[in-house]
Structure 1
């Protein structure tokens, strides 16, 4: 029987309506052809499918396949915002999930409308190994973490923690999970953890790799280490660091080979001095890269006698662009270490994208050359140090912030499914599009992010022409200009994109207008999920339009998320909904500062 780790399923896939139809249409024309297959072969087929695909395609064929479905092992369950309607989910949950809960090994709950359904039953998912959880109400999250304690096979956990959570309680609940090896925590609230106590000897977490997106004080590192004696790598990323010119990268290798990397802008010299003095005799390698502290602190004189491989880098920038900061920080980490410790650089230091919008990067304590994202700069490509011995097959996300010239040094990325374009690269896509086709397959892309000043929609059309199979489209516009949109409706290019694009999710991370949202909803008739943020000028008009348009047209189902809204706006949105005569079933949910609305026939 095939091992789950050897499966070739794409984790970016979703079981939306179109996939359901595809699988249904691909059923064998005669049940008898399936009947000739042994149970072992049927289970082998099941290993390639998500649990929802098994339920949708096999559960109702006949009694035999219903029994095989309900006794399937190693189930993978993935539920997101465009999965299915409430009625279909309830049928799926009651008829298939609950009877098979003890067989679930991988569970991705990315829909806040259904995530809470698992809070009481998850303790009975005895074989659960991986759990990924979207943002849910804090009370529900704390209860769910409490119920995870009984799961002896849970080795991987990734959760999104909303605002208002007691961080100390969250950390301590996680440290009580007895099988956890890998943990990723993303905190929406960037207030530091002030009350995390040192661990008693009775609590020892088995975590080996810990990744935290949060504001973090160096004082809390010692508390973290006291809970996880088996820690190998700790990476702390500040989710809201504005401008790398204010950032500091702090990387440490301890004598017992613990690796710690932190990027932030809240460090002070006393904090760093205190940390170094506490851990001085355990530090093997200390690396500090700074754009604002260099020349002020004389750490090298203090540290060098105790740490022979200490290295301090500082930069003075002539160019204000973020990319210049990134490149200098990036290159600094690939300078050779002293020959007495050549393996440290190859073993530890690498980089990982921090956010699509600002193209921030940081050092991440993971094994190098297996990262899943890559920042492509022309200057970077001219330097062989940037990608020597790198495994390009591991790259799934390519970030291109500037126009890329033709160069033999530029590698080909065979498995890229997500691309981020920004700045000059967007403006010059007419020129660079053909060149980029030599380094990746545009038809393979399923996710596209565009970060730029919104100046011309002809460029957007050009990009969408190259990428016909994109399912998720993200915009980060610094400004928006909606004039002239109506003229595009008459062009052949517009009609071609309407007929061929597969976009189901659109995200506006920054500026938007009602006209802009209306334009892209018309352009993308298969749209199922729309996300945008708070806007005093545009929010109400946009919400009114989306509500009316999806209620009166042929949308079978539609989901909406509005982020960064306060209580007053939530009340106003609910009042607007109540004033409408909705023809469709609908659900409303508020999770911290996010307003979710889903409706369907």
Structure 2
């Protein structure tokens, strides 16, 4: 949006309706700067309930939050910063002081050298649902939780375990029933401490990350659940592990078989493991299967012959999102996901495969797909064009920048497939991972 158009929009639409606006979304630094320079406009939005700020510069955040403190109805706040926050404590305090805030989602990189907040004593927030999208240290989370006694749902997409939690914790989280944690360098004893202190009322727990042997100890999990999570009804885990010389696959097989017991069966918590080779490294994935709704399905590879984990088959008709980890797995698949609309492709895909879309169409209905993610360095641009031609309803596409290396080819530009896709695709949202120049647009 140009400056003149934004000015027109502000004068003729926003200002005359400032007392009617309930939701506002600022999507780039330019619009944020403009709004902040517009004579306390934000502080006059008395009916504003939902405020979303994307791609904001950190230098603007404190001023922006100062304008929000007087809003009597602001219950939902989403902030995404484009650069690192040097002093996040000030921002946390400003957010926590918003008087009626219920939902808060923050996404910014912190300077990990800063000192965490002091523990809350007599100042508390009304936040009930907290989502932290980027990295947050364990000790910082601990301090934050002391300010949100009404918290019901917590999601941390990168919980960093460099700190040790204080042993003197006196925080009551009587309302916390849902938690989702993606762990980064969090040791199992640290996770135990977090669970023992905060998760007594937890009902739904999702845990993911890279696993140590302790993370895969079924008996330790059993005791933790029985002693400290008596209300837990949904338990979903997804751990990546690395078989090697010190701990080979037989070691992991022994651990996995511990999950083959009555305790897990009677709760309908079932698990499986697969091997995959991503970017040349052989990893394993230990994960929950048939997790309650069954909307996701991962084609990772053939089940290891030593596996004896009991499980039930997912209802294929309920699957909406299919993950395929490599071309060989795709070739071996015998399932058909008739209602899927979302496809994610990982790992290796040969550029020479002539029947790629034909094989894929026997797994997912290409005509129904609306979103595709391709996280592969070997996926060719030609194959992408073939996929887009066979799946004309795709409106959202996420790809690796390596795929675009072929766009400068004259023969590719002149191909019938490329010309057809250029004229007929319905894509409105494109995300390109890694840095690369986009030579042309589809």
TM-score by length of 1: 0.53
1:170 matched to 2:91: yes
Secondary structure of the 1:227 match is coil
Give the equivalent residue in structure 2 for 1:487: 411
Contact 2:178 2:204 in 1 (8 A): no
Task: Output one character per residue of 1:125-169: Cα deviation in whole Å (capped at 9) or x when no partner.
Answer: 222222221121223222222222222322222211331342212
Residues 270 and 106 of structure 1, relative CA distance in 2, 3 Å threshold: same
Task: Output one character per residue of 1:566-598: Cα deviation in whole Å (capped at 9) or x when no partner.
Answer: xxxxxxxxxxxxxxxxxxxxxxxxxxxxxxxxx
Q: CA deviation at 1:204?
A: 2.3
Give the equivalent residue in structure 2 for 1:294: 213
Give the equivalent residue in structure 2 for 1:99: 16
Residues 198 and 484 of structure 1, relative CA distance in 2, 3 Å threshold: closer
Please give the root-mean-square deviation of Cα atoms over the aligned residues, in Å: 5.1
Give the equivalent residue in structure 2 for 1:501: 425
1:259 matched to 2:178: yes
Contact 2:58 2:85 in 1 (8 A): yes
Q: Identify the structure with the greater helix proportion.
A: 1
Give the equivalent residue in structure 2 for 1:122: 42
Contact 2:413 2:419 in 1 (8 A): yes
Q: CA deviation at 1:482?
A: 4.4
Q: How far apart, in 2, do the equivalents of 1:342 and 1:303 lie? A: 12
Match of 1:377 among 299, 311, 330: 299
Q: CA deviation at 1:234?
A: 1.0
1:338 matched to 2:247: no
Contact 1:290 1:315 in 2 (8 A): yes
Q: How far apart, in 2, do the equivalents of 1:445 and 1:314 lie? A: 28
Secondary structure of the 1:134 match is strand
Residues 422 and 304 of structure 1, relative CA distance in 2, 3 Å threshold: closer
Moved more, 482-491 or 165-174: 482-491
Secondary structure of the 1:133 match is strand
Give runs of aligned pairs for residues 100-499 of structure 1, distance below 5 A: 100-119=17-36, 120-161=40-81, 162-189=83-110, 191=112, 194-201=115-122, 203-238=123-158, 257-268=176-187, 271-272=190-191, 275=194, 291-294=210-213, 304=223, 307-308=226-227, 317-318=242-243, 338=263, 342=267, 369=293, 374-377=296-299, 385=312, 387-388=314-315, 395=320, 399-403=323-327, 404=330, 410-413=336-339, 416=341, 419-424=343-348, 431-434=355-358, 436-437=360-361, 442=366, 445=369, 447-454=371-378, 456-477=380-401, 481-482=405-406, 485-499=409-423
Q: How far apart, in 2, do the equivalents of 1:276 and 1:226 lie? A: 15
Q: CA deviation at 1:269?
A: 6.1
Secondary structure of the 2:126 match is coil
TM-score by length of 2: 0.69
Residues 153 and 295 of structure 1, relative CA distance in 2, 3 Å threshold: closer
The gaps in structure 2 that reach 5 residues or longer are 162-171, 230-234, 272-278, 304-309
Q: How far apart, in 2, do the equivalents of 1:280 and 1:144 lie? A: 34
Contact 1:455 1:480 in 2 (8 A): no
Task: Output one character per residue of 1:299-332: Cα deviation in whole Å (capped at 9) or x when no partner.
Answer: 967994994478999886459xxxx9xxx9xx99
Q: How far apart, in 1, do the equivalents of 2:240 and 2:427 lie? A: 42
Task: Output one character per residue of 1:265-293: Cα deviation in whole Å (capped at 9) or x when no partner.
Answer: 23246644654675698889999777542
Q: How far apart, in 2, do the equivalents of 1:483 and 1:472 lie? A: 20
Q: CA deviation at 1:97?
A: 1.7
Residues 289 and 96 of structure 1, relative CA distance in 2, 3 Å threshold: closer
Residues 410 and 455 of structure 1, relative CA distance in 2, 3 Å threshold: closer
Residues 388 and 92 of structure 1, relative CA distance in 2, 3 Å threshold: same
Residues 387 and 180 of structure 1, relative CA distance in 2, 3 Å threshold: farther
Q: How far apart, in 2, do the equivalents of 1:475 and 1:313 lie? A: 24
Contact 1:402 1:423 in 2 (8 A): yes
Contact 1:425 1:432 in 2 (8 A): no
Q: How far apart, in 2, do the equivalents of 1:429 and 1:192 lie? A: 50
Residues 495 and 215 of structure 1, relative CA distance in 2, 3 Å threshold: closer
Secondary structure of the 2:13 match is helix
Match of 2:4 among 53, 75, 87: 87
Q: How far apart, in 1, do the equivalents of 2:42 and 2:266 lie? A: 47
Give the equivalent residue in structure 2 for 1:61: none
Secondary structure of the 2:73 match is coil
Residues 294 and 229 of structure 1, relative CA distance in 2, 3 Å threshold: same
Q: How far apart, in 2, do the equivalents of 1:306 and 1:483 lie? A: 53
Secondary structure of the 1:237 match is strand
Aligned pair count reads 395
